Structure 1
Amino acid sequence: MRFIISLPQRSPARGLLFALATLMLLLATGCYHSPYKSKARAPIPCDSSVVSALINKDSLRVATVSSSTSYFIYKDEQLGYEYELAKLLAKTLGKAMKVVVAPNTAALFQMLDSALVDLVITPQAVTVSAQKHYLFCGPEEISGQVLVQRNDKGLQVKSVTDLIGKKVTVMARSRFADRLQHLSKEVGGGIDSVIISDEALSAEDLIGKVVDHSIDYTFADEQIARIARTYYHNIDISVNVGFGQRLRWVVRKDNECLAKWVDKWAEAASHNLAYKKIWRRYFEMGKDELDDLTGPQRPRIDMPPGRISKYDLAFSILSKHHSFGYPWQLLAAIAYHESRFNHGASAWSGARGLMGIMPRTGQRHGATVDQLMDPEVSIRVAIFCLKAFRAEFPDIADEEERLCFTLAAYNAGPGHIADARRLAAKHGKNPNVWENNVETYVKLKKEPQYYNDPVCKHGYLRGTETVRYVRNVLDTYKKYLPIKNKNF
């Protein structure tokens, strides 16, 4: 398997300020050690239970950064490929897992050096210099850059030499721009480089531009490209454009016992069904709302005039009973985009049932995972959630605006929307207006310089999907609103 972790980077000024603040704090507590200069300690003796290798015998403490691959929060659930692998490791160890989210890579090593965490799970490059100070362990990944192109037969290239005479679009001052420059020299010139300096755009945005035919080719980290392929089905990422690099988890040099145990676990886990399910969840399962659902297949039912779905009566009765505050057709529109009216649906994220409720959310409202497959339970929990989310925005007087924010919170979780509102205010936009204001910063929450901003509390979000979700639900709601069944 080949894939890559994309590590967040701060702007130089903000990064310097954070580094100075962190240094002062850690010096004050007497626990700072520079990255790659880990203080020598006596080796920790190994035993069969590996408990002696942990900071706290009751838990495994791991450090990570917020990103699309390592760790993120979605609908108030903790998710991420590396995060779920680490949970699997902790479960095998028989320990609880505690996660510490660092703002950048340097902070990861500071936490590790200071014995605040046992293990760094954001994979790091295995280099000669790093191996002098740290032990690398766990799943081994190979990082690299790939060409992102559409599956169009006329445009598809099979090797880097086929790029001669083609336009490749990358971001300015990025490793992709450097690689494109070197690659053009390697093939004897002739690759038409298009360098974009718009800081509001990212590699993920450029992948989207390939999809919508705005550009033909771009470069991306392989793992980001793998995830993008689960959203977009018309891209090809098979052509490598950079040399691969080994990436692994990291422990302190003195903690050889834990490193050996993690290696042993990883070797066995790679053949484990749970491990394979995690891989499939993040890198194979479709995440577009049209195809990210699994569950019992339901034959298409053609509804008579004046009907939206077979759940119309339940939408109407439950919305009145629980004083929903919106027409019942809004529930129908949400159900369409969450499950296509399939009460047995399960999404890649873990959202279940007719209204796409996350297990933890259901639990907070008194519903078990199995009960979420009951249409009436799902509708009831969705009403409770929507009412709670609407109450999160008492300062938004305009009801149409408030509905946009409520739907965004339903899709991404209210924490991310609160982050985007704070970002909007900070950058001179209106935090009470969705279109071209808060929605802009919802989309930008996939960029490290935004989700690592001090005003943000909830990290990475693939906000483009949230913005699309709000737009699609509102469009469907407007189509459904005139439908009023006379039977109720």
Structure 2
Amino acid sequence: MAALLLLLAVTGCRNHTGSQETEAGTHDLQQIKDSGQLVVLTLYSSTSYFNYRGQEMGFQYELSEQFAKSLGVELKVKVARNVKDLIRKLQAGEGDLIAYTLPVTKEWKDSLLYCGEDVITHQVVVQRKGGRNKTLKDVTELIGKDIYVKPGKYHERLVNLDKELGGGIHIHLVRGDSVSAEDLIEQVAQGKIPYTVTDNDIARLNRTYYPNLDIDLAISFDQRSSWAVRKDCPQLAKAASEWHKANSTSPDYKASTKRYFEISKSTPHTPILSLREGRISHYDDLFKKYAKEIGWDWRLLASLAYTESNFDTTAVSWAGAKGLMQLMPSTARAMGVPPGKEQNAEESIKAAVKYIGKTAQSFKNLPPEEQVKFVLASYNSGIGHVQDAMALAEKYGKDKNVWKDNVEKYILLKANEEYFTDPVCKNGYFRGTETYNFVREITARYEQYKKKIKE
């Protein structure tokens, strides 16, 4: 009997010839329910799956979690290296379902069952609204324009489009592995380059960071994509499709869509409360009270709070962080914030200081001025991504104990597949631009506070 169970576990879900009965060795819907666990396969990306401040996030991840909950089972996530690896792992029985927008192709339709939502994607030109250049409305207007793209499908599409138009598009191929496709989008938003190309879902997400982007000009045919399961798991495919159809307008589904593709990721900021009175905020006394516990200058703690919430105790971020110090719900609970008190100023500051103190222990061997930067970076990204950046810095000959121009360079590079798939990285994809700017902004503002506000 034990040998038979072992054989079933190893063989996983095998192809069979159209029978509606579940054969020995398959792992369709009933077996998933019996096991109590749905194993999904996905890729690290800004739209599918990533870790933020110690919490699993991503649009596809959240939909998978909701689907698993509907089945009454726990969700387990396994991350593949690329699309080819996703399919290999699925066919090898390492997962039950691909929770990623997998392109629908004839080649894969022969070996997979597509299911879930039928997502329509296409490539768009990313351009800046209100810039020096007139907003392009038609592909013919690309003639004579400079467009910057990474090698791959965007470059291939532009080359083909250039041929279709009879030539004239100035295509600039950006080959350096230190620049990602999303870095190019940021450069468009900042006016450093005029145009780039990306998929419309990635463009929608990035517009929540940069509202000055125009992403309406499509340059490719629509591409269908969806989740997928093995060919001999029809009941799981049916359940996924029916769940998507029934829940695409549910509060949870709509909240996930809004979180990633609609809510602005930027926080508006205002000046110092009163330079004449020497006050940074209404909470200066609390900053002074608790900063002592970690040996910080209270003005540094105030600078952190300013960046996090603009001193707004009612602030709730796109990721669900709450209050003055923008603690994630799980962190707030772990640091002792009473339920319902996440937006209480003193509870938020007290918990944040406790969290900073615990985080600082991981960098206790660093000089104080470096320790502060590593702690701030961890506060923003989660300590795992900082440790990954340290490991990358060491691997590539930089000083893993120095933030500026060393580790900060590699927190930026964790948005690039070449780096976040490196064996020394344990936490996958991360949009490091925010953390890079976070540390620089807080430390620079702290220096300004020291000049203008007495200790």
TM-score, scaled relative to structure 2: 0.91
Describe the SS at the equivalent of 2:95: coil
Percent identical pairs in the alignment equals 40
Q: How many residues align?
A: 441
Give the distance between the partners of 1:474 and 1:265, measured in 2 at CA: 47
Cα offset, 1:68, TM superposition: 1.0
Contact kept in structure 1, 2:189 and 2:210, CA below 8 Å: yes
Q: What are the equivalent positions in structure 2 for 1:435-454 lying under 5 Å apart?
A: 435-454=404-423
Measured against aligned partners, the alpha-carbon deviations of 1:225-268 in whole angstroms (never above 9, x if no partner) come to 11111111111010011122111101111111111111111001
Q: Which amino acid aligns with 2:106?
A: V
Match of 2:362 among 372, 392, 399: 392
Counterpart of 1:4 in structure 2 is none
Q: Which residue matches 2:209?
A: 231
Whether the 8 Å CA contact 1:55–1:118 is kept in 2: the answer is: no
CA 1:326 to 1:448, structure 2 compared with 1: closer, same or farther past 3 Å?
A: same
Shift of 1:303: 7.1
Q: For 1:270-309, what aligned pairs fall within 5 Å after superposition?
A: 270-290=248-268, 305-309=277-281
Instruction: Verify: 1:260 aligned to 2:238, yes or no.
Output: yes
State the Cα deviation string for residues 273-310 of structure 1 (Å, max 9, x = none).
2211110100011112338xxxxxx9x96575111111
CA distance in 2, matches of 1:140, 1:265: 12
User: 1:191 Cα shift?
Assistant: 1.4
Q: Would the alpha carbon gap of residues 484 and 436 (structure 1) be closer, same or farther in structure 2, given more than 3 Å must change?
A: closer
Query: 1:312 is matched with which residue?
Result: 284
Deviates more, 1:199-208 or 1:341-350: 199-208
Q: Secondary structure of 1:410's partner? A: helix
The verdict on how the C-alpha distance between 1:160 and 1:478 changes in structure 2, with shifts beyond 3 A counting, is same
- The change in CA–CA distance for 1:93 and 1:191 in structure 2 (over 3 A counts) is same
Q: Secondary structure at the match of 1:237?
A: strand
For structure 2, the residue ranges without an aligned partner over 5 or more in a row are 1-8, 23-27
Task: Report the Cα distance in structure 2 between the residues aligned to 1:446 and 1:349, rounded to whole angstroms.
Answer: 18
1:144 Cα offset (Å): 1.7
Among candidates 91, 100, 112, match of residue 122 of structure 1 = 100
Work out which of the residue numbers 336, 345, 355 in structure 2 matches 1:375. Answer: 345
Conservation of the 8 A alpha-carbon contact between 1:124 and 1:250 = yes
Question: 1:274 aligns to what SS in structure 2?
Answer: helix
Q: Any idea what the Cα deviations from partners look like across 1:432-484, whole Å, max 9, x if unmatched? A: 11111111110000011111111000011100110001011111211223566
Give runs of aligned pairs for residues 8-23 of structure 1, distance below 5 A.
none
- Residue 213 (structure 1) aligned with residue 191 (structure 2): yes
Residues 454-469 of structure 1: pairs in structure 2 closer than 5 A: 454-469=423-438
4+ runs of 1 displaced by more than 6 Å?
none
In terms of mean alpha carbon deviation, does 440-449 or 111-120 score higher? 111-120
Which of 113, 124, 127 is residue 91 of structure 2 equivalent to? 113
Q: Within 1, Cα distance between the matches of 2:63 and 2:12?
A: 28
Q: 2:15, 2:71 → 1: CA distance? A: 27
What is the rounded CA distance, in whole Å, between the counterparts of 2:261 and 2:415 in structure 1?
Answer: 18
Q: Aligned equivalents of 1:45 and 1:310: distance in 2?
A: 67
Distance 1:208 1:192 in 2: 20
In the superposition, relative to structure 1, how do residues 350 and 343 fare at CA in structure 2: closer, same or farther (>3 Å)?
same
Q: Which amino acid aligns with 1:174?
A: G
How much does 1:416 deviate? 0.2
Q: CA deviation at 1:400?
A: 1.5
Deviation, 1:380, is 0.9
Which runs of no fewer than 5 residues in structure 1 stay unpaired?
Answer: 1-28, 292-297
Q: Secondary structure at the match of 1:208?
A: helix
Cα deviations across residues 163-184 of structure 1 (Å, max 9, x unaligned)?
112111222x322221111111
| Match in the other structure for 2:4 | none
Q: Tell whether the 8 Å contact from 1:146 to 1:241 is kept in structure 2 after alignment.
A: yes
Deviation at 1:32, TM superposition (A): 9.6
Deviation of 1:51 after TM superposition, in Å, equals 5.2
Structure 1 residue matching 2:98: 3-state secondary structure: strand
User: Residue 414 in 1 paired to residue 414 in 2?
Assistant: no
Provide the rounded CA distance (Å) in 1 between the counterparts of 2:76 and 2:169. 48
Which residue is 2:320 aligned to? 350
Q: What is the aligned counterpart of 2:444 among 464, 467, 475?
A: 475
| 2: CA distance, partners of 1:319 / 1:199 | 40
Shift of 1:114: 2.9
Q: Which residue of 1 aligns with 2:299?
A: 329
- Equivalent position of 2:137 in the other structure: 158
Letter in 2 for 1:439: E
Aligned-partner Cα distance in 2 for 1:44–1:111 = 24
- Aligned-pair distance for 1:56? 4.8
Q: Using the alignment, how far apart are the partners of 2:275 and 2:69 within structure 1?
A: 47
2:152 maps to amino acid: S
Match of 1:190 among 157, 163, 168: 168
Aligned equivalents of 2:173, 2:275: Cα separation in 1: 51
Q: In the aligned structure 2, how far is the partner of 1:179 from the partner of 1:356?
A: 41
Aligned to 1:170: 149
The Cα of 1:370 is off from its aligned counterpart by: 2.1
Aligned partners of 2:138 and 2:217 also within 8 Å = yes
Q: One-letter code of the match for 1:379?
A: I
CA distance in structure 2 between the aligned counterparts of 1:129 and 1:225, rounded to whole angstroms: 28
Amino acid in the other structure paired with 1:460:
Y
1:195 Cα deviation from its structure 2 partner: 2.3
Matched residue SS, 1:108 = helix
Give CA deviations for 1:90-145 in whole Å, capped at 9, x if unaligned: 12222221112223323322332233322110121111221221111112211221
What letter matches 2:138 in structure 1?
S
Change (3 A) 1:420 1:91: same
Q: What does 1:129-140 correspond to in 2, within 5 Å?
A: 129-140=107-118
Taking the TM superposition and a 5 Å limit, the aligned residue runs for 1:15-94 are: 39-40=15-16, 43=19, 45=21, 52-54=30-32, 56-94=34-72
The residue number in structure 1 matching 2:3 is none
Are 2:275 and 2:452, in contact at CA under 8 Å, matched by a contact in 1? Answer: no
Contact 1:51 1:57 in 2 (8 A): no
Cα distance in 1 for partners of 2:118, 2:46 equals: 18
- Segment of structure 1 superposing worse, 84-93 or 74-83: 84-93
Counterpart amino acid of residue 432 in structure 1: N
Relative distance call for 1:41 and 1:441 in structure 2 (3 A) is: farther
